Amino acid sequence: MTAMFKSRSKKLLYIEDDPESLEMMADIVKFHGYEFLGASRGIEGIKIATQEKPDLILMDINLPDMSGYEVTTLLKSIKVLQNIPIIALSAYTQDEARDRTLIAGCEGFIAKPINVTQFLKLIDEYLKGRKETLAPEVEKKYLTEYNIRLVEKLQNKVEELETVNYDLKMINDELNKSRGQLTDYNNRLFTMNSLANSLRLHKSPDALLKSLPYKLIEGFHVDRCIIFEYKDELQQIKILHMAGSSEKYLEPVAYHLDYPFYQQIKRELKLLWIKNKDEILNKSLLKLAQSLNAESFIIASLTGFASREDSSGIFRAVVTRDDEPSTEEILSDLPKKLLIFLDRAKNHYPFATYEIRVFKAFLQTAGIIYENMFLYHRVLKLFQIKEQEAITDPLTSVYNYRYFQSQIEREFVRAQRHKKSFSIAMIDIDNFKQYNDTHGHYNGDLALKVVAKALLANIRKSDILARYGGDEFIIILPELDKSQAKALAEKLCTIIEKTKLPRKKFTPKINLTISLGISTYPDDGNKEDILIKKADRALYQAKNTGRNTVYLAG
């Protein structure tokens, strides 16, 4: 047996909906000493990966519940799984399939059918750190397309909910008691459709919840509508939004509602119709009815109608990252457990059976719209964070080198088209190594942040500041000629020289200054690399002529 097959204690997870393929892969993996884990769906694979933390994940692109690209994005967003290599397997051999898997986050791509010997060799290489990459322009192209497709998919999912309304037409056959009742019922159906369509127009799930009580009062002729949030740890419900009579209940009053009863409403009944409060057996519900002076009412679950039970858990795993405040903000705003209360408080006029059916159908539709809108907004925000991460230096929060490369190319095109000049300023922090060695790396990192913040605060909004590497920065200065760029650079030198920097107590004071090298298009070159080289050479000359100074190319 060759050397590549020696280490056999590693776990391999294979996500594949074809049972025969799973069985064949299990035989190959187990025969060669790896521990095999199998999953037939994307959600199941995410759960197993989170629990088992395999050393490598193999995954078919086409899965029944979600695409392999979506599964990869979710896996890579879970903190404990970020460094686990993911390899896509597919019968598609085109470059486009490979590129899309890599942009989603996969480390590699293997075409089916597999050659066992070559397959095992590749597995060994991926376990040792092999990673396939894309050219920046290709990555940018597919990342844009991938984000657009995901947003469109989520929008289509919301639009598909409109089909729920057709089920309500079946109720007509059961409502032949009277012409007046049937007319009222049809009017309610029309109202429900109109309300459901209006809910989809809200910009956020919170705005939807705030408007829902008013829409129910207007459209279904109830006197009062209250949306409660249920708190598990306290076994309490608290008013979130309310409309209708007895506005005093908008005060921050909490009511006890025992957990088993809440679970009964949520999982079994979904909607509980109390025709008379004298029939209430649950003590906490009876006390709530007495407090609200409610004789006949409806209490129902507004969440959990159509969403899968594990959806909140998966989303919580996706956003559980403690490295960025923006991600923590998303995590703190996970879906609430909501109950909705409706009654006719003024005259205690009872609800009719057909009204209950219409209410239940509408609340189901509203719940689905709310849950999907919540998911859409959170996923959209998560992708915005990812997009920002891709162009931002994590330490200084200015643009990174990759973004600078794309923008310098863009600026060249713009300057050539409009026959405008522009400059770039290469910046190096003087004495930074000495400062770092004296005050420590922690203070060194703080100093980099302080310098970056000072630079950013004293350039124009149109200027692009990026970290070039180490203690070097670079600025693109659109439409500035050499003299204008020099004036700005000298201003930055003065500002940094006066900037207060962190330092250890009882250590020698080391003042940090900056040196700058400036080159200008078209005077110093008509290509990006030439302009950068000349700015770098000018910076080198500035460092050699005393530092804390500006040197011009040419």
* DSSP code, position 392: B
Instruction: Give me the residues of the chain with pLDDT under 70, please.
Output: 1-8, 93-95, 139, 143, 146-190, 196, 245-252, 267-269, 304-335, 345-349, 504-507
**In this predicted structure, what is the pLDDT of residue 2?**
45
Residue 296 amino acid letter: S
Same domain, 491 and 353: no
**Is 102 part of a structural domain of the chain?**
yes
- Same structural domain, 301 and 447: no
- How far is Cα 482 from Cα 80, in angstroms, rounded to an integer? 50
Length of the chain: 554
- Which pairs with CB-CB distance under 8 Å and at least 24 residues apart come from 242-249? 242/213, 243/213, 243/214, 243/216, 243/217, 244/213, 244/217, 244/345, 245/345, 245/346, 246/292, 246/293, 246/345, 249/292
Q: Are residues 287 and 408 in the same domain?
A: no
Please tell me whether residues 123 and 221 are part of one structural domain.
no
146 inside domain: no
Task: Compute φ and ψ for 230, nearest 5 degrees.
Answer: -95, 130
Pairing of strands 11-15, 35-39: parallel
Domain CATH for 407: 3.30.70.270
Q: Is the residue at 185 inside a domain?
A: yes
Residue at which a domain ends, from 367, 389, 411: 389
Report pLDDT digits (tens) over 435-457: 888 888 898 999 999 999 999 99
Give residue 308's domain range: 152-389
Neighbours of 168 (CB within 10 A): 18
Report if residue 147 sits inside a domain: no
CATH number of the structural domain spanning residue 278:
3.30.450.40
Same domain, 232 and 180: yes
405 and 384 both lie in a single domain: no
Chosen domain end from 325, 355, 389: 389
395 vs 249: CA distance, rounded Å:
48
Report how far residue 354's alpha carbon sits from residue 359's, in angstroms, rounded to the nearest whole number.
9
| Six-digit token string for 240 | 């979130």
Do 382 and 411 have their domain in common? no
Q: Report the distance separating Cα 110 and Cα 12, nearest Å.
A: 15
Answer yes or no: are the C-beta atoms of 480 and 456 closer than 8 Å: no
288 assigned to some structural domain: yes
Q: Could you tell me which residues come within 8 angstroms of residue 65 by beta carbon, excluding any fewer than 6 positions away?
A: 41, 42, 43
**Within this chain, do residues 369 and 478 fall inside the same structural domain, yes or no?**
no
28 and 69 belong to one structural domain: yes
Q: Measuring CA to CA, which residue among 381, 404, 409 is closest to residue 393?
A: 404
| 462 lies in some domain | yes
Helix (H, G, I), strand (E, B) or coil at 459: coil
Structural domain ending residue among the three candidates 355, 389, 423: 389
**CATH code of the domain in which 64 resides:** 3.40.50.2300
Q: Which two tokens stand for residue 277?
A: 């409060």
As a whole number of Å, the CA-based R_g of the chain is 31
Q: Using DSSP, state whether 16 is helix, strand or coil.
A: coil
How far is it, in rounded angstroms, from Cα 145 to Cα 151?
A: 10
One domain, residues 306 and 221:
yes
Q: Are 540 and 507 in the same domain?
A: yes
Report if residue 144 sits inside a domain. Answer: no
Question: What's the number of domains the chain is made of?
Answer: 3
Question: What does the pLDDT look like over 458-508, one tens digit per residue?
Answer: 999 999 999 998 999 999 999 999 999 999 999 999 999 998 887 766 567
Candidates 543, 389, 386, 544; CA nearest to 471 is: 543
Q: Dihedral sign, CA of 100, 104, 105, 111?
A: negative
Is the residue at 266 inside a domain?
A: yes
The three-state secondary structure class of 295 is coil
Q: What is the pTM of this model?
A: 0.44
In a shared domain, residues 182 and 299: yes
As given in the structure block, the two tokens for residue 460 are 């124009």
